[in-house]
Structure 1
Amino acid sequence: MLILPKNYVQTIKNVHKEKGEEWLNKFQDLIKYCEIKWKLTILDPFELSYNFVAPAIRDNGQEVVVKLSIPTNAFFSEVEALQYFAGKDMVSIIDMDINKGIIILDRLLPGHMLASIEDDELATKIAATIMDTLWVKETQSTKLPQIEEREKSLLRFLNNYPEGKGPITTPMLHKATNTFRRLLADGKDRYILHGDLHHYNILKGEKWTAIDPKGLVGEREYDTIQFLLNKLPESDLEPVLKVRIEILVNRLELDEKRLLEWGFVHSVLSTCWSLEESNDYNIAFYKSIFVFEKLHKDKFGRLEC
């Protein structure tokens, strides 16, 4: 019997309420179902957050990864994104049972994260190569969430906390929402995006490969921001961000002005997400708000309020 960590169990209950309780009660049966259907043995899980993810060995010796999720819109978006990115620098689906929230994935070995690369410029170039292979033009048939969902999330925070919360002030929120609205109004080309591509979602297999797409439709520039925000130093963020941005803009032929604006917006949004869950927040994400704003001012003028 697999014993789930207490903090993971509590997360499932907090996020999914009654549906989470029901899923947890049936968890051991779900494990047995997977082991019988795919003739495999599930090993101790990786570090868990919102999904159960564990290595497994099939009867024929093949090493795979079993990912179990509560079937929600987020899960269905992940499956759709994995299918859009099939054959690219994305982990491969071996099989799945969508109704039960099960995905069997290829196991990437040795599997160390891009975060293990100390040379930040090299890590950024690797990430740029992956971004370039993943992004595909938006299709009319996609059911993936649109970037407007992120705007609604920011507007919801402003509505719930009109006086601001924690370090996020009302003027900051208004500047972010106005910038978001203006960016969307420009009607730039949209792509199928990873939605959460960063140093910890890129692993080394036979080649560097992305995992765990959220699936999102929006501008390419927006999909770089989560990478830019991760694995930053505790202080003096600006030089690191400047080099990363230069590499991504040049290698992917991106619009630097829009990238900086999306960086400002998403840094605010990411901090808001953290404050919605607790009174804690990522200091680097918060500091990045001011770095993106400064870089924009230095090169393109002040962000409009």
Structure 2
Amino acid sequence: MITLPEQFIKTIKDIHKEKGEIWLENFEDLCNRCEIRWNMKILSPFELSYNFVAPILIDGQKNAVIKLSVPNEEFNSEVEALREFKDNEFVKVIDSDLNEGILILEQLLPGDTLATIENEQEAMGIAVKVMKNLWKAAPKYTKIPSILSRENSLRRIVEKFPNGLGPISKEMLLDAFDIFKEMNHTQSTKYLLHGDLHHYNILNAGENSWKVIDPKGLIGEREYDIIQFLLNNIEGKDIFTTLENRIDLLVKELNLNKERVLLWGFSHAVLSTCWSLEDEGTYNEYFFQAINVFKDLHKKFY
């Protein structure tokens, strides 16, 4: 029997409400059915956040990973994105069941995240190599949401908090919303994006290979997809210098539009801070500081 952490249980209930409570009640049965169906043994889980993720043994020997989610559209988008990205720098899908919220993946070993690479230049070199082989043209027919969904999320926040939210002033909110609308209207070539690309979703797969995990799936331009990466793993670093250096490198190596990176950076950092305030009542101080860094860099160059 697997004992789920109290915080994980609370998160599932808070996000998925009654559907989450039913999923938790049936969780042990779900695990038992998975073990029988795939002849697997579910081992002790990794640190849990929004989904149950654990290493497994298939047929008593093959190492893999199982991800169990309350069935929802975001999970479906992740599975579709992984299947679309099958020839790129992504973890491979072994099997899935959308109705049950089951995803079985290859296990990446040793599995250390890019955040464990303390040398910034070395980490950025790895990131560039991964990103050069990451994106692909957006599929013609897909249920994966576009960046317009992020604009709509910010629209909802603006309507709900017309005078601002926490440290996010009314002016910041309106500026970010205006930028989202303009950027979505003027996007160039659209790609299938990761949607949550950062240091903790890039794992060491051995033999000098790094692979990407946990895509949310998003349709839009590449400039938007690097923002979450820029915002992560900046603790203890000079934020202005670190962001400026990262942006310059990624713009050069990936042939990106620098002004659009800076505008997306400002607007997404506002949105991300608002999400945190809504969900948890707190926010990441580094994300918040980055808002003004993106704004100042845009003033500096444009």
TM-score for the superposition, normalised by structure 2: 0.97
Q: Which moved more, 1:84-93 or 1:182-191?
A: 182-191
How many equivalent pairs are there? 300
Gaps of 5+ in 1: 301-305
Q: Is the 8 A contact 1:121 1:243 kept in 2?
A: no
Deviation at 1:125, TM superposition (A): 2.2
Query: Which residue identity lines up with residue 169 of structure 1 in the other structure?
Result: S
Give 1:211's aligned residue.
Answer: 213
Alignment match, 2:289: 287
Aligned 1:117-266 pairs, distance under 5 A: 117-206=117-206, 207-234=209-236, 236-266=238-268
Confirm or deny: 8 A CA contact 2:95 2:103 kept in the other structure. yes
**Alignment counterpart, residue 271 of structure 2, candidates 269, 272, 275:** 269
CA–CA distance in 2 between the matches of 1:210 and 1:139? 19
Aligned amino acid, residue 88 of structure 1 = N
Measured after TM superposition, the shift of residue 60 of structure 1 is 4.3
Structure 2: how far apart are the matches of 1:178 and 1:128? 30
Amino acid of the residue matched to residue 275 of structure 1?
A: L
> Would you say 1:13 and 2:8 are equivalent positions?
no
Question: How far is the alpha carbon of 1:39 from its aligned partner?
Answer: 1.1
Alignment partners' CA distance in 2, 1:187 and 1:5: 42
2-structure distance, mates of 1:113, 1:263: 23
Q: What amino acid is the match of 2:30?
A: L
Q: Which amino acid aligns with 1:32?
A: N
Superposed displacement of residue 235, structure 1: 5.9
- The answer to whether the 8 A contact 1:125-1:248 is kept is no
Instruction: Say which is worse superposed, 70-79 or 132-141, in terms of deviation.
Output: 132-141
How far, CA to CA, are the matches of 1:2 and 1:60 in structure 2?
A: 19
Partner residue in 2 for 1:57: 57
Deviation at 1:102, TM superposition (A): 0.5
4+ residue runs over 4 A deviation: none
**Residue of structure 2 equivalent to 1:84:** 84
Q: CA RMSD in A?
A: 1.0
Q: CA deviation at 1:234?
A: 4.4
Q: Deviations over 1:42-68 (max 9, x none)?
A: 111001011000001122411000100
> Which stretch shifts more, 118-127 or 154-163?
118-127
* Structure 2 CA distance for aligned equivalents of residues 84 and 126 of structure 1: 23
Letter in 2 for 1:11: T
Any idea what the Cα deviations from partners look like across 1:117-151, whole Å, max 9, x if unmatched? Answer: 01112212212222221211112201100111100
Deviates more, 1:238-247 or 1:125-134: 125-134
> Which runs of 5 or more structure 2 residues have no equivalent in the other structure?
none
Q: What is the TM-score of this pair, normalised by structure 1?
A: 0.96
CA offset digits 1:237-263 (Å, max 9, x no partner) = 011111111111111000001001000
One-letter code aligned to 1:179? I
What SS is found at the alignment partner of 2:124?
Answer: helix
